[in-house]
Amino acid sequence: MTTPTSSTLVRRDVATPLGPLTLVAADDGLRGAYFADHRRRPELEALEAPATHPALDRAERAFAAYFAGEAADVPVDAVAPGTPFQREVWEALRDIPAGRTWTYTQVAARIGRPTATRAVAAAIGRNPLTVAVPCHRVVGADGALTGYAGGIERKRWLLAHERG
């Protein structure tokens, strides 16, 4: 993931088995993916919704392949707007294999900050790229499904979908 550059944001709503997903992009790539009831979802309705846009077109195809079971991950040109620490955490999430789970402690260890579990959890909670940056693959220390901004039922569905 790279740091975003300044450009105009655009949006597209796409249908998924879990309900509508709003994709937000700029010329340099996907900036966000949010379910309608996503916690911390920014106001997106005022953004232009062009019929075609290279980053939105690529992202829509990638999400369609993922939800159709044709891809284990959503391969997108992700440009996450966040702090360097958040981007480091989000990049680590992309290393979790599809259908597998890691704990918040494992993610903290992965980035070389084994005592930063709470900070890691906070960064995961601010992930703007649901499914594409697979925060749904992170569980509590006891394996419990916890803290997914799209809702625990979606998290459960996504993990089952990935496990086939």
Q: What is the 8-class DSSP label of residue 78?
A: B
How many CB atoms within 10 Å of residue 127? 25
Distance in angstroms (rounded) separating the CA atoms of residues 40 and 161: 25
- Look up residue 52 and give its DSSP letter: -
d(CA 125, CA 119): 10
Residue of 4, 22, 5 lying closest to 13 (CA atoms):
22
Terminal CA-CA length for the chain: 28
Q: Active site residue: 79, 132, 135, 138, which one?
A: 135
Cross-strand bridge partners of residue 138:
102
58 within 8 A of 76, measured Cβ to Cβ: yes
Q: Strand (E) positions, the chain?
A: 10-14, 21-26, 29-35, 102-103, 138-139
135 included as an active-site residue: yes
List the catalytic residues: 135
